[in-house]
Chain A
């Protein structure tokens, strides 16, 4: 019994400590964004890595998400004889929900995992200690450009995802099933309001922050992981954990933001 209580206590302390570390890490990183000196090139490099290199995946998934929405939407709406609403249905689903969530999940898979592994390996091979010993703040040097790039890039990637998705929906609804372009785009025009676009943008901003924060923090605190996070296996385990945690957090925050903004 005493052992069980001790284990429970140790686990609770550990959880609080980890939460504290992660929270503090976010505050220091955000402070790093606002505080000078501002260095442009590292941010540009990260925008290239998180944004430009994810472009193809985002366009590809955007296209197919729009196409499947067009397909399913047409099938469902045709049962009620209201295929005229297809444009509205596809664009609303994409702008409010699927665009930000799917784009974030894709970026987590592509860039988030890489960021976690990169920072984790640097922690494991004492490169982060080396930075500290050189009086270079590792959060400022490694994390701040990634976080800023994530916040800047996610709304752009989400917008690209949405636009391509809407055209994907039209490709299926319009070209395959014969819904006229006028009815598809007029349906979209009349049903989509600024608040829908706004919700998508807010979500994408939050997801950008969330995914970079979680993935880099997991790598940065690799040595605090259960079992020490040592070696290649430690890095791979932590990276998997980071991807799962970031993806789950995106879905939870998706619900929270929807509930707040509706």
Chain B
């Protein structure tokens, strides 16, 4: 189980609560993300999955509870510490959030230009390498609006990975993409994680495909996180909410007794 994992805790949410006006979105949410693992948060739309992600990124502060990243409480740390923490982050936003008035090349080069002292020559080398890794050679001079949704996601991924981050957040990385484009994103994720060995936090509802990539799966339902367990345990969980979610998204688990008896009856 997650608690027994010896790997270092990178992100820890403890009793996080958040309301927007009178609407409570998160209630007593606790989660640990460990170094080098892939944690997936699943759940129906509008359950507050992205809100959890925004808390981890320090874009939102909890009403109650704590969010600790690398041991720092994000609500209490200085702006400088928050900036230092974020230097080891890479984020792929749900709507990609590319800078639409910049070319693809400039989008990927921006973190390097703003955060490092590399020369333009070194920047070009790194950017071109990342673009090639994403299969985007020759598209650097185009603007984000001139390429397809799948390519925009790949540009977003290239930008997120350009500084070799320690933690990468993916907010619905395959939403709006067809099956082959989704598979392409998963393949790139798999390849880049193997190469860069980053910790990944993925918010998704692309079940069951996402299970293959994950070390831990948590379900966001009824304002709470239900379990955070390996995908096999998740699929066999007794928790009625998890069970309901698994049945709804994957269909009933194959059981020879029920399946075959039905088969015989129709014969």
Report which A residues bind B (CB closer than 8 A). 118, 122, 125-127, 129-130, 132-137, 141
Contact = CB atoms under 8 A, between A and B. Distances in A.
29 contacts: A118-B101, A125-B95, A125-B100, A126-B93, A127-B98, A127-B99, A129-B57, A129-B93, A129-B97, A130-B91, A130-B97, A130-B99, A132-B57, A132-B58, A133-B57, A133-B59, A133-B86, A133-B89, A133-B91, A134-B89, A134-B91, A134-B111, A134-B114, A135-B89, A135-B115, A136-B111, A136-B115, A137-B83, A141-B114
If over half of B's interface residues share one DSSP class (helix, strand or loop), that class is named, otherwise mixed; here it is mixed
Interface of B: 57-59, 83-84, 86-87, 89, 91, 93, 95, 97-101, 110-111, 114-115
Given A127-B99, A127-B100, 6 more contacts: A130-B91, A133-B91, A134-B114, A135-B83, A135-B89, A137-B83
A129 B57 CA distance: 10
Contacts of A133: 57, 59, 86, 89, 91
A126 B84 CA distance: 21
A130 B108 CA distance: 12
B50 to A, nearest CB: 10
Q: Which 9 A-B pairs have the closest CB atoms?
A: A135-B86, A130-B97, A126-B97, A133-B91, A135-B87, A135-B83, A136-B114, A134-B111, A127-B97
A130 B93 contact: yes
If over half of A's interface residues share one DSSP class (helix, strand or loop), that class is named, otherwise mixed; here it is helix
B86 A132 contact: yes
Contacts of B89: 133-135
Contacts of B100: 125, 127
B97 to A, nearest CB: 4
A125 B111 CA distance: 18
A100 B147 CA distance: 45
Given A125-B100, A129-B59, A141-B114, A134 B95 contact: no
B89 to A, nearest CB: 6
Nearest to A136: B114
A135 B100 CA distance: 19
